[in-house]
Amino acid sequence: MRIEQDCVGTLAVPDEAKYGIHSLRALQNFPISAEKTNLSIIYNLVAIKQAAAKVNMDAGTLAADKARAIIKAGDDVLAGKYDDQFIIPAIQGGAGTSTNMNVNEVLANVAKQYSHDYIHPNDDVNQSQSTNDTYPTAGKMALLQHLPKLLKELDRMQTCLILKADKFSNDIKVGRTQLQDAVPTTFGASFHAYYSMFKRDIKRIKTAGEDISVVNLGGTAIGTGLNTSSYYCHHIIEELNRISGFQLKSAADLIDATQNCDDFVEFSSALKAFAVDLIKFSNDLRLLSSGPQAGLGELKLPAKQAGSSIMPSKVNPVIPEVVNQVAFEVIGHDTTVMLAAQAGQLELNAFEPIILRDLLDGESMLTRAVNTLTKNCLQDIDVDREHSREEVENSAISATVLSPMLGYERSMKLIKQAVKEHHSVKQLLIAQHVLPLGTIDDLFSVDRLLNRNETEPKEHAASK
C-alpha cells in the first residue's frame, strides 16, 4: 500500500492502483450501485486531457516532455488497457469532480513511464481545466458519439415502415376512434402515418444533437476562464475537434453554458417524445394483433417465443412489450433530467452526473430497442387480409358513405336495423331496393370507402 494525502487527510491506496486518493474516496463515499461511470465519458475526458496537453505545450505553460507523456498515456487508456482503473460510480456527488480526478490520476500514473519528470494529476494533467468545463464537454461528446447509432436504427425502421406502407396500400381495414368502429382505411395508410410520426422524431433528435455540440470548454470553474492562457482559450476546441473528429463549438456565453442545463433537457425531451411515440406504436401493434381468435386479430406479428408455461401454443407480442418497457424507462429518465436541471444553483449545476447517466442509458436502450423492433417484428409483420376485409364489409360504420345521398337520419335507421338483424348494410340496401344495385356497388367499393375517387372542383359543386 502507498499513503497519499489530500485536503481531507491521508489514505492508503493499493500499490498496483493507477488511480489515487481522490478516486478511492469517491468509491467509499458513493456506494449507490455497482454501475460505474460510462466509459464513453472516461474516454472523451482522456481526449480532452490530450488536447489540453498539446495546447498547453504550444502555449509554453506545460513542458514538452510532460505533454508528450500525457498524450502517450492517453493513447494507452483509449486502447482499453486500464479500463479497470476507472472506479467511480455513475451516480456521484461533486458535479463530476470524482470522475475528472479519476482520469487525472490514472493518466498521471501511466505517464510516469514516459517522462523523467514527476507528472502531477492537477498541475499537469488538469492544467487550464476544471471539472466544470471538462466533465459536461466529455458528456456531450459521449452523447454525440452514440447518436449516429440511434439515428441509423431509426432510419432502418423508417425504411421498413415505408416498405410496409407500400405493401399494405390496398389492404382495407376498419378505422377506429376511441376504440369504436370508424370509417375504413388501409393498413398502408396506418403504416405511413407511423412513418410520418417517427420522421418528426428524427428531426427533433437531430436538432437537439446540434445544440448538444455547443460546449463550455475553456470556461474552467464558472465560465470566466480563470487559470487559462489566451492561447489555450482560442485553440483548445480546435485541437479537440482535430483529435476526436467532432465538430464542437464554443458557447457564446461560457458562464451561461457552465451553469445552465437546458440543452440536456432539450435532448432528453426529444428522446422522451420518441419514447411516447414508440409506446403508441407498440400498443397499436399489440392491439391489432390481439387474440388472434378472440381479439382483433388483424395484424400477424412474427412468433418469437412460446408465450406461456401452461397454455400450449400461446404466443405473446414480446417485442412490442420490451420496447414499451424501454420507453417507460426513458420517460422516467426525462423526469430525472428535468428535476436535476432545475435543481442547479447559481454558477454551477452539481447534478450533471445523473443527467448524463440517464441520457446515455436512454440513448443506448432506445438504440437497442429500435433494433429489435425492426429486426424481430416489423420486417416480418403481415396482415390478415381476408379477416380485415370481412370486418369492413360487416361493419355498419361503412354506411357513412350513405349520409350524403340518403341523409343522416335515414342512414342511421338503416344502420340500426342492419345491426339488429345481423346483416351488413350493403345486404340490407340490396334487399330493400333502396338504391340501384350499381350505385350500391359503387358506394361500397374500396375506392369510395377510402375516398380515393376524384372530388368535383369546388366551383362546379357550388354551381349545383
Residue type, 181: D
C-alpha cell at 11: 489514505
Q: What sign does the dihedral 216-217-221-224 (CA atoms) show?
A: negative
Choose the catalytic residue: 196, 250, 268, 308. Answer: 308
308 in catalytic set: yes
DSSP β-ladder status, 10-13 and 2-5: antiparallel
Residue type, 113: Q
Tell me the C-alpha distance between 184 and 193, whole Å: 15
Cα-Cα-Cα-Cα dihedral of 125, 245, 203, 257, to 10°? 30
Half-sphere exposure of 360 (CA within 13 A, CB side): 25
Say how many C-beta atoms besides its own lie within 10 A of residue 388's C-beta. 23
Interaxial angle between packed helices 318-342 and 262-288, expressed in degrees from 0 to 180 and rounded to the nearest 10? 160
* Three-class SS state of 183: strand
Half-sphere exposure of 106 (CA within 13 A, CB side): 27
Q: Which residues are catalytic?
A: 308
